[in-house]
Amino acid sequence: MNNLNVCLTPALIPLFDVENYIVVVIDIFRATSSISYGIENGAEAIIPVSEVEECFAYQDKFTHYLLAAERNGEVVAGFDFGNSPFSYTREKVSDKTIVLTTTNGTHALQRSIKAKKVIIGSFLNLTSVCNWLKDQQEDILLVCAGWKNNFNLEDTLFAGAVVDQLKPAGFVLDDAAIAAYDLFQIGKGDISAYLKKTSHSERLKALGIEADIEFCLQTDLTTAIPILKGEKLIKLL
């Protein structure tokens, strides 16, 4: 039987031999949701970077790349758009390469880079990701991007949603996978309400992204699975 493990924050990635796993990177609000939606809508590639300056370095070399960056909820001056999934519509991103600044999401991706494969998960492509994972016959590590290296509920709930779908296939779960699964059972009836009842929702309100949040919590709106090839996220299927 294969292992299904959950890494609750990027700070814990060194505890796992990532080269033995297929890694699913999870940053529900909003990086991996926006990436899933962008790849679904025909983006040729999305390049996640940590710093705004790195975006400009790409554009110096590749003038046709689109740049996406927000700081404190505002699109950064000189950028094409921000990190909202609403920026990743077909008309905006089809056949385009986008350089996207994220903090938590990029950090999780960079620390997972030695894995057998690194794919991107979100509620938007949940079932598609789970069906693909079931076919791989590999150990799976669900990496929650978290919040500044600490645990967060939304990424863990999504990990629990994946465990919920994969569990009947007979994986061996670690303690974090069991906890994520149990938390998802509590929250799944109304994930948005579950996240709102928490003090945690103050952080989300402070970001001023309520509409984005509702969008990111939609299940199975898309089927595309982004996969990391070199520095680029492209469409696996």
Task: Please report, as ranges, the residues that interact with its own copies according to CB under 8 A.
Answer: 8-9, 11-12, 15, 147-153, 156, 172-176, 178-179, 182-183, 185-186, 198-200
Of 200 and 235, which CB lies nearer to its own copies in the complex structure? 200
Contact 114, 147 (CB under 8 A): no
Of 182 and 214, which CB lies nearer to its own copies in the complex structure? 182
> Closest distance between its own copies and the C-beta of residue 195, in Å?
10
* Torsion 93-79-62-224 (CA) sign: negative
Residue 53, both tokens: 């300056």
User: How many residues make up the chain in this entry?
Assistant: 237
Of 140 and 224, which CB lies nearer to its own copies in the complex structure? 140
DSSP state of 204: H
Of 69 and 176, which CB lies nearer to its own copies in the complex structure? 176
Cα 178 from Cα 185, distance rounded (Å): 11
> Closest distance between its own copies and the C-beta of residue 151, in Å?
5
Cα 24 from Cα 109, distance rounded (Å): 9
> Closest distance between its own copies and the C-beta of residue 150, in Å?
5
> Closest distance between its own copies and the C-beta of residue 236, in Å?
29
Strand-strand pairing, 70-71 and 66-68: unpaired
Query: Longest C-alpha distance within the chain, in Å?
Result: 51
Of 129 and 183, which CB lies nearer to its own copies in the complex structure? 183
Buried b (16+ CB within 10 A) or exposed e, 56-83: eebbeeeeebbbbbbeeeebbeebbbbb
> Closest distance between its own copies and the C-beta of residue 157, in Å?
9
